[in-house]
Amino acid sequence: MRSVFKVVENRRESEWTHTIFFDAEIESQPGQFMMVWLPRLGEKPFTLSYPNAVTVKKAGAFTENLAALAPGDEIGLRGPLGQGYPPLKKPALIGGGVGIAELRLLALASEEPSFVLGGRTADEILFYEEFRELGPVHVATEDGALGHKGLVTELLPVEADSYAVCGPERMMAACLPKLPAERTYFAIERYMKCAVGLCGQCTCSGWRVCTDGPIFPAAAVAQMDDFGKRRRSKSGKWETI
Amino acid sequence: MRSVFKVVENRRESEWTHTIFFDAEIESQPGQFMMVWLPRLGEKPFTLSYPNAVTVKKAGAFTENLAALAPGDEIGLRGPLGQGYPPLKKPALIGGGVGIAELRLLALASEEPSFVLGGRTADEILFYEEFRELGPVHVATEDGALGHKGLVTELLPVEADSYAVCGPERMMAACLPKLPAERTYFAIERYMKCAVGLCGQCTCSGWRVCTDGPIFPAAAVAQMDDFGKRRRSKSGKWETI
Amino acid sequence: MIPLPRIDPPLINASGILSYPEVFTAFESAGACLGGYVTKSVGPREKPGNDNPVVVYPPDGAVLNSLALPTQSAEDWERDLEEIKLKKAKLIVSVYGGDSLEFAEVTGRMSRFSDAIEVNLGCPNKEPGEQTIMESIGQNPALSAEVIERVRGETDKPVIAKLSPNSDYLAVAESCMNAGADALGCGNTLGPGLAVDIRSRAAILAGTTGGISGPALKPVNLRMTYEAYARFRCPIVAYGGIETWEDAVEYILAGASVLGIGTAFMRKSTHEAAALTREIWEGIQEYLDGEPMSAIIGAAHRSAEGGGSHA
Amino acid sequence: MIPLPRIDPPLINASGILSYPEVFTAFESAGACLGGYVTKSVGPREKPGNDNPVVVYPPDGAVLNSLALPTQSAEDWERDLEEIKLKKAKLIVSVYGGDSLEFAEVTGRMSRFSDAIEVNLGCPNKEPGEQTIMESIGQNPALSAEVIERVRGETDKPVIAKLSPNSDYLAVAESCMNAGADALGCGNTLGPGLAVDIRSRAAILAGTTGGISGPALKPVNLRMTYEAYARFRCPIVAYGGIETWEDAVEYILAGASVLGIGTAFMRKSTHEAAALTREIWEGIQEYLDGEPMSAIIGAAHRSAEGGGSHA
Ligand SMILES: Cc1cc2nc3c(=O)[nH]c(=O)nc-3n(C[C@H](O)[C@H](O)[C@H](O)COP(=O)(O)OP(=O)(O)OC[C@H]3O[C@@H](n4cnc5c(N)ncnc54)[C@H](O)[C@@H]3O)c2cc1C
Ligand SMILES: Cc1cc2nc3c(=O)[nH]c(=O)nc-3n(C[C@H](O)[C@H](O)[C@H](O)COP(=O)(O)OP(=O)(O)OC[C@H]3O[C@@H](n4cnc5c(N)ncnc54)[C@H](O)[C@@H]3O)c2cc1C
Ligand SMILES: Cc1cc2nc3c(=O)[nH]c(=O)nc-3n(C[C@H](O)[C@H](O)[C@H](O)COP(=O)(O)O)c2cc1C
Ligand SMILES: Cc1cc2nc3c(=O)[nH]c(=O)nc-3n(C[C@H](O)[C@H](O)[C@H](O)COP(=O)(O)O)c2cc1C
Ligand code: FES
Ligand code: FES
C-alpha cells in the first residue's frame, strides 16, 4: 500500500512529541511499521500508535517537519512493512522514550498487559493515563519527577508471561540479560532506505530489520553481535551505537 | 493462457481434415477460439472441436504442418479468446465444411439440437454419426453422395428455436436472409494477427472479430456492409470474399 | 508552430491499435470517449509485416509485439480514408518510410485527410533483413531532422514527432523541434524485448524480439514526457501503459496534453473498450474538479521547482 | 580469458541487493541456494547516495530505485571483507568509480578478497548534480574499454563487464571483451523511469527518476543476454526479473550461465528468500532432468538456426 492522506489532527503529547492523525485507518500487526513520506522532504520509518496516527519525536529535519504538520496537510504512507509481534500472553511492555508510543497498539491487542516505562522526565511517559486503565504501570524517570528515579532497567525483572521491549538500543541491550530469552521480543531500529528487504542497509548482524524484523525474538537478538554495538549509517559505513 | 502441450493422437477425419488431440483439456465457451502455435512455424486461429483437440482442414502451409503432427510433437495454445455463443434453446446448427467441426462443442452443450450440414462430398460431413445420436441431421452434398444434392442453403428454412451458422462466408451470407435475425448467430472468420483486439487486422465493418466475435448475432451481422463481401489481407489491403 | 487541433476529450488511440478507419467508426458508434483517432502507420508500399506470432504477453503487464509495420499501399490508404465518416473526432494519420523522401511522399498523400500528421520515428520492429526505423533514422538526430523537414514541406497540418524511448530522445527531439515539428509523441514501444518458450526452446515471436508496451513501459515514457516537457514546453502526446485515469493524470502532471491508449484495449470488446475510455475521462474530470486541464499540464514540474530540496 | 569461478549452484544475488557481507552470511546460514554473492558496488570514497524515498513499486512488476550507489570508502570495505566468513559460496566484488583510474583503484583494493570482479558500467541513478556512470562511461565503448583495461591491470581474477540495457550494449560489450573482460553481466536496470504522485503532484523518488528492475525488465535483459551470447559466446551473468525457475531457464536458453536474483527478494524475510532460491534451483534441476546445465546454455539459438523459417 502506498497512498497519500490528509492530516486531520496534530496532538501535542510532550515538548518533543506529537501524534499526527490522518484520514485513514491502516490495518497492521502491532510492531509492523510504515514508511512515512512527506512529498519533496523525505521518507522515514515510523510505527503506528493508532490505526490512523503516528507518534513522532523530533530528532532532526524530517521529524521536525512531520511534527509540525497541520490539518489539511498531506502525509504519504507505505506499508505496513516487516514482521510484528506474535500474539503475547500477559505481556510486560517495556518502553523507553518514543518507543512507548510504539507499544500502544500492542497494549490494546494484548490480554492483561503490564507496563514498565522509562524516560528522562514525566513528560516523556506517553499515554500514561491510558495505560493505567489497561494494567499496572511501573515508571522510572531520570529526574525522578514520576515513579522510580533512575533507569527503566532498574525496575527489572518484573513478573509476566512474556515481554516486549521497545526503546533506545542501549536500554534494550541492558534489558537483554535480565529477561527470559524464549518469551521476550525486541523492536530493533536501523537506518532504512528501501524498507522492503532489497538494499541491505538496515542489517543487524546480517538480518535485515525491515523484513526479518523490526520485531525479533530475544533468542535471535542474543546471537547478534552488532546488537547494542554498531549499525550502518546512510553510506553503509559502520557507526557505534 | 499460453502453453505448449504434447500431441497424443492425430485422427484422420477425411481426406482434407484431421483432428489433433493434445494432453490438456481447455475450458472454453463454444464459439471461442484458440491461437495454435507451432514453434518456428507460425500461429493461427482454430476452434476447439473437443476440449482437448482441434479439427483442421488443410488449406496451406501451416495447416499442412498442423494436420501432420504426430504423437509426442509439440503444440502451443493461447486462449480461449473472443466471444462464444450465448446459451441456445433447441438450436439448428448449420455448418459447412470444416465449420461443422467448430459446431461440435456447441452441439454437446445444447439441448435438443438439430443439424443442417453441407459439404462437397459425404466425406466432408464431419461427425455425422455422432451428431445423429444427438438429434435430426439434414445433409446436403454438392455431389449428392449423401442427402440432398446441392447447397446447404437449399435446405433452409428449418424449424428451430435458434440458429447457429458456421461455414464459408458466402454460404453464411446466403443463409442470412433466410433466418430470423433475433435468434441467429454467425461465426465470422477474418485474418488474425494479435487475436486480442489490438491490431485491428480482423475487422469486419469495424468490429474486431477476435474480441467482438467471432460469434455475432445476425442482427449485428445484417448491419455489416463488409460481411460476405470483403476482408483485410495480411497487409491490411482489402480483398474480395 | 501550428497548434494541435482541439482534441476533445484529449484521449486518442495509439497508432497500430485499432488501426483502421472502420474500426474508429465502430468505436465512435459504441460511445467511445476518444477525441481523436490515429491510423496504423501508413507506409509507401504494401508490406505484410512479420508472420505470426506477432504478440506475446508475459505476466505482469508487459506486451511484446513484432508486427513490423504491415501496411497497404499509400494509394489504398487514400481510398480507405476517403470512405471514413467520423462524426466529431479528429483524425491523425501516422506515417513512416524507409527514408525522408518516402516519409514526405506518404505525408503528401495523407495530408488532406488528416487533422495532424504523426511521424513514426521509433518502431523497434522489423521484418527479417530490414533495418528498423529506430536504427536507421530515429536514433539519429540529423536524419530525424531531415525527415521532419521534408514532412513539414508536404503538409500545413501540425506535425507530431513520435519518439523512441530507446534513443537519445532529447537530442532527437531537439533536432525535430528545430526542423519544424509542432508537438512530440512520447513515445513508441520500449526495447525490444525477448520471450523464450522453455518447452520448445524457441523464441515465441516470429520476429524473435518485439517492442514492449503496456504498464511495464509506463515509467519510461512518463520520464520521457517529463523531460521533454521540461526542455521544450511544447504540446506532448503521451503513450505508454495508460490503463486508468490515474495513469492519465500522471502523464498530464508530467507534461502531456493528449493521452494515447493502446495496450489497455487488449482483450476488450468494442463496448468494453468504449466504457474504459469513458471511465478514464470521467476520472480525469473528477480529478480536475472544475479546473481546466491546461491548469495542471506539467504541474509536477512547478512543484519540483517550488518545493524545497531533497531534504 | 580467465574462466569464471565455479559458482554452484549457478545462482547469485544481484549487486545492490543484500549488499553487505554479514547479510550474505545470514543468507548462507538460512540455507540459501546461492553459489555466490555480489557486494553492493564499491566506490572509492564514502558517499551517502540519494535521500529517501529511494524505491517505489508501482503495480505490475516494476520497481524503480534511485539509491545512486551509496558506498562506504574502499578502506572501510576492506575492513568489512576481512571479516567475511562464507562457507562455500564465492564472493564477487562489484566496483565503480568516476573514471577509469578510480575503477582501477577500487579493483586493486578489492581483488584479494574476491573470486571475480564485476565492473558496474550501467547504473542509471545519480545524486543531484552528478553524471551517471551510464552517461559518463557506460554508453561510450572507448571509455568502457579504458575502464576494463585498467581494471584488468589490477586483478588476476575474472572480470565481468556489467552492461546497461539503455546503451548500445553490443558496441560497449565488444570493446569490453577486446579490452580483456572475461564475461558479460546482462544487465543493470532499465530506463530510468519516473513515478508521479497525483495527489501531491510530486515525483515520488527523491532522485526524481529511478532504474527499473523486476519483471518489467525481464524481456529487455533477456534479449540482451540472447544477443550478447549470439555475438560473443562468452560466459554471461544474467540479471533482470528472475522470480521463478521458468524465468531462470529462459535466461539459460538465451545464453546465461549464472543467474542473478534481485528484486524477487523484495518483501521476503531471509528464510522466505532462502526458500525462493531453493525453489528456483530445484525447478532448474527438474527441468534439466539429469542433463548438465552446460548442455542447454544458449539452446534457443541452436533451435533458431536448426528450425525452419518464419513460415
Ligand atoms: C522500524 C522503526 C520504527 C520507528 N518508529 C518511530 C516512531 O514511531 N516514532 C518516532 O518518533 N520515531 C520512530 N523511528 C525513528 C525515526 O524513523 C527517526 O527518528 C527518524 O527517521 C529521524 O529522522 P530525522 O530526519 O528527523 O532525523 P535525522 O537528523 O536524520 O536523524 C536522527 C536519528 O534518526 C535516525 N534516522 C534517520 N533517518 C532514518 C531512517 N531512514 N531510518 C531509520 N532511522 C533513521 C538516524 O540514524 C539518527 O539516529 C522508527 C525507526 C524505525 C527503524
Ligand atoms: C476464429 C477462427 C476459427 C477458426 N477455426 C478453424 C478450425 O477449427 N479448423 C480449421 O481448419 N480452420 C479454422 N480456421 C481457419 C484457419 O485459421 C485457417 O484455415 C488457417 O489459418 C490457414 O492457414 P494456412 O497457413 O494453412 O493457410 P494459408 O495458405 O496461409 O491461407 C489459407 C486461408 O486461410 C486464411 N488464413 C491464413 N492465415 C490466417 C490467420 N492468421 N487468421 C485467419 N485466417 C487465416 C487465409 O485468409 C486464407 O483464406 C479458423 C479461423 C478463424 C478466424
Ligand atoms: C500491436 C501494436 C502495434 C503498434 N503499431 C504501431 C504503429 O504502427 N506505429 C506507431 O507509431 N506505434 C505503434 N505501436 C506503439 C503504440 O502506438 C504505442 O506507442 C505503444 O504501444 C505504447 O502505448 P500502450 O502502452 O498504451 O500500448 C504499436 C503498439 C502495439 C502494441
Ligand atoms: C535497490 C537496488 C540497488 C541496486 N544497486 C546496484 C549496484 O549497486 N550495482 C549494480 O551493478 N547494480 C545495482 N542494481 C541492479 C541489480 O544488480 C540488477 O542488475 C537489477 O536490479 C536487475 O535484476 P532484478 O530485476 O532481479 O532486480 C540495483 C538494483 C536495485 C533494485
Ligand atoms: S532498508 Fe533496504 S533492506 Fe532493509
Ligand atoms: S487480430 Fe488483432 S485486433 Fe483482431
Measured distance CA(C273)–CA(C267) in Å, rounded: 9
Q: Is D251 contained in some domain? A: yes
Place A188 in a pLDDT band, splitting at 50, 70 and 90. very high
C67 at interface of B, judged by CB pairs closer than 8 A: yes
Choose from C23, C25, C76, C265 for mutation: most chain B CBs within 10 A. Answer: C23
Helices (H) and strands (E) counted in chain A, each on its own, are 6, 18
Amino acid at B182: E
DSSP D71: B
Instruction: Please state whether beta strands C209-213 and C63-65 pair in parallel, antiparallel, or not at all (unpaired).
Output: antiparallel
Neighbours of D275 (CB within 10 A): 16
Q: Helices C141-154 and C100-110 sit at what angle, rounded to 10 degrees?
A: 30
Probe residue for ligand 2, chosen from B33, B48, B63, B239 as the CB with the greatest number of ligand atoms within 8 Å: B63
Amino acid at D280: I
Q: Name the residue range of residue D270's domain.
A: 11-50+67-196+214-304
* Whole-number average pLDDT of chain A: 97
Res. D309: pLDDT tops 50: no
Low-confidence ranges of chain B (pLDDT < 70): none
Contact call for D195 and C307, based on CB within 8 A? no
- Parts of chain B belonging to CATH 2.40.30.10: 2-81
Q: Which of D83, D91, D95, D80 is nearest to D36 (CA)?
A: D91
Atom of ligand 6 nearest to the CA of B211: 4
Query: Residue D304 has what pLDDT?
Result: 59
| Alpha carbon of D213 to ligand 4 centroid (Å) | 7
- Going from the C-alpha of A237 to that of each of B232, C79, D72, D152, D206, the distances in angstroms are 65, 70, 5, 28, 21
Q: Which of B46, B40, B41 is nearest to B22 (CA)?
A: B46
Domain B2-81 sits in CATH 2.170.120.12: no
SS3 per-residue string spanning B129-178: HHHHHHCCEEEEECCCCCCEECCHHHHCCCCCCEEEEECCHHHHHHHHHH
Res. D68: pLDDT tops 90: yes
Q: Which ligand is nearest to the CA of A101?
A: 1
- Going from the C-alpha of C198 to that of each of C176, D288, D297, D309, the distances in angstroms are 43, 11, 12, 19
| Alpha carbon of B24 to ligand 1 centroid (Å) | 55
| Alpha carbon of D185 to ligand 3 centroid (Å) | 30
What single string gives the DSSP state of each residue in D112-166? GG-SEEEEE-------TTPPPHIIIIIT-HHHHHHHHHHHHHH-SS-EEEEEPTT
Report residue A64: phi and psi, to 5°.
-60, -45
Query: Residue B65 has what pLDDT?
Result: 98
Res. A187: pLDDT tops 90: yes
Atom of ligand 3 nearest to the CA of C213: 25
Query: Residue C310 has what pLDDT?
Result: 32
The CATH class for the domain spanning B91-235 reads alpha beta
Low-confidence ranges of chain C (pLDDT < 50): 306-311
Query: Residue C241 has what pLDDT?
Result: 96
| Alpha carbon of D285 to ligand 4 centroid (Å) | 26
pTM of the model: 0.96
Q: Is C202 contained in some domain? A: no
Measured distance CA(A67)–CA(A48) in Å, rounded: 14
- Parts of chain A belonging to CATH 3.40.50.80: 91-235
Domain with D182 in it: what CATH number? Answer: 3.20.20.70
Closest chain B residue by Cα to residue C47: B235
Query: Residue C304 has what pLDDT?
Result: 59
Place D175 in a pLDDT band, splitting at 50, 70 and 90. very high
Retrieve residue D212's grid coordinates. 527499473
Report residue B204: phi and psi, to 5°.
-120, 105
| Bond preceding residue B86 cis, omega within 30 of 0 | no
Q: Helices C270-288 and C21-29 sit at what angle, rounded to 10 degrees?
A: 70
Query: Residue B162 in contact with residue B88, Cβ under 8 Å?
Result: yes
Amino acid at C32: A
Q: Which of D152, D149, D124 is nearest to D138 (CA)?
A: D124
Contact call for D218 and C193, based on CB within 8 A? yes
Q: Is the ipTM value over 0.85, yes or no?
A: yes
Number of A/D CB contacts below 8 angstroms equals: 129
Return the residue matching grid coordinates 455431389. Answer: B143
Is any ligand 1 atom within 6 A of the Cβ of residue A101? yes
CA distance B43 to chain D (A): 10
Amino acid at D77: W
D311 at interface of B, judged by CB pairs closer than 8 A: yes
Query: Residue C307 has what pLDDT?
Result: 40
Interchain touch B–A (≥3 Cβ pairs closer than 8 Å):
no
Res. D307: pLDDT tops 90: no
Q: For chain C, how many structural domains are there in total?
A: 1
